Structure 1
Amino acid sequence: MDRDSFWELIEECRRQAQSPDERLTWLRGELSRRSLTEVVQFQVCLDETTHEAFTWDLWAAADRIFGGWCSDDGFCYFGLWMVGLGREAFTRAVSEPDALAETPEVRRLVGSPREMWNDDDWPGWESLDYVAMEAYRVLSGVDDDCDEAFYGAVEAEQADGPESPGPLGERWDARSEEEAARKLPRLSAMFALRPLT
């Protein structure tokens, strides 16, 4: 599975189902009909894709959407959620984080208190990171030590490259209204910061 095939599967998943849970069910079923190698390659493509989104500018965009606070784990899940937006929206957001303001998924959140966001709207999709492993377990028929076998296969398939020690780019504070208005004007106008407690 190459990157184009990966994105075709994500796009088809978006066409087949609406909610994140329905998409996961569809994707798990689709991956379970493929070879173990393809399932592993799906995870490799997912890891490589989300790594592209591991930037300080996108973390700041997530901070704004979440009202000024996006944890380390929350940002990882946000990157997975961005994959679920589809290739075009993902690619655009990586190059211009403020473009997230144009996506229907982000626009739906505007004006709604974060406490009222439901699971389907929440800008995080942690479960996407486990769907390939679940399909691998079904295909291999191995329950014990499946995680170890799967992640070992993923590591063997990954290209050897330098690991990024942290997000790419320069870190900046999305809670600075002046800087946020300059770097993320649309998201800053759409999402107010939560008061410090």
Structure 2
Amino acid sequence: MNDEDFWALIEDARRRSDDPDRRLDLLRDQLVSRTPAEIIGFWTCLDRARAKVDTWEMWSAAELICDGWCSDDSFWYFQFWVVGLGRAVLTKVAAEPDALAEIPEVRRLADIPLSEWDDGDVPEWECLDYVAAEAFDAVTGETDGLEAALVAAGIDMSCSPEPTGEAWEVRDKAEAERRLPRLSAMFPLEGEAA
């Protein structure tokens, strides 16, 4: 599976449903009709796409959106959420994380206090991380087969953020306004340092 095939699957599922669980079902249905090698290809394309937004700047953007709280796990799942927004969005925000301010899903969150977010509002898509493994196991009948296949192929299986770029303090108001001006205006943090 190449990047074009990968993005066709992601974007087809997105066109067919707004519901993340339904989109996962659609992806899983597509993947279980593929060969194990194609499922490995899907995983490698997914990991490559996710890595494009594994940056300190993106982590700071996620922290702003999530009211200053973004753990390793929540940033990891945020990355999959960004991938799920589609290729054009991922490409745009990977180049300029502050462009998240233009994304309708993010703009909607700015109008809802964090205390009123329900589970569907949280910008994360944890289950996208597992869909290839589930499909691989279903196709091969193995448990944890994808991980073993990746190890056998010499492919490192990423499982947590390893951000690139420069870490900085998102609660430093001046720095946040300089680096992420639109998101800082949309999601001002309480108790920001001057």
Flag whether TM exceeds 0.5 (same fold): yes
Asked if 1:40 corresponds to 2:40, the answer is yes
When the two chains are superposed, the root-mean-square deviation of aligned CA atoms in Å is: 1.9
Paired residues for 1:1-197 under 5 Å:
1-142=1-142, 146-147=143-144, 149-157=145-153, 166-195=162-191
Count of residues in correspondence between the two structures: 189
CA 157–95 in structure 1, closer or farther in 2 if over 3 Å, else same: farther
Q: Deviations over 1:45-77 (max 9, x none)?
A: 111111121111001100100111211111100
CA 25–130 in structure 1, closer or farther in 2 if over 3 Å, else same: same
Counterpart secondary structure, 1:109:
helix
Deviation at 1:43, TM superposition (A): 0.8
Amino acid in the other structure paired with 1:184: L
Deviation at 1:115, TM superposition (A): 2.6
Counterpart secondary structure, 1:40:
helix
Deviation at 1:194, TM superposition (A): 4.4
- Aligned 8 A contact 2:93 2:99 in 1: yes
| Structure 1: distance between partners of 2:67 and 2:9 | 32
TM-score (norm 1): 0.89
CA 128–58 in structure 1, closer or farther in 2 if over 3 Å, else same: same
The unaligned stretches of length 5 or more in structure 1 are none
- Aligned 8 A contact 2:77 2:126 in 1: yes
- Aligned 8 A contact 1:41 1:154 in 2: no
Runs of 4+ residues over 3 Å off in structure 1 = 155-160
TM-score (norm 2): 0.91
- Aligned 8 A contact 2:171 2:191 in 1: no
| Structure 2: distance between partners of 1:98 and 1:192 | 14
Q: Deviations over 1:166-188 (max 9, x none)?
A: 31111111111101111111100
Which fold has the larger relative contact order, with Cα–Cα distance below 8 Å and residues 6 or more apart in sequence?
1
Q: Deviations over 1:142-179 (max 9, x none)?
A: 3xxx11x211212444668xxxx931111111111101
Deviation at 1:26, TM superposition (A): 0.8
| Structure 2: distance between partners of 1:11 and 1:44 | 17
- How many percent identity over aligned positions? 49
- Aligned 8 A contact 2:56 2:167 in 1: yes
Deviation at 1:119, TM superposition (A): 2.6
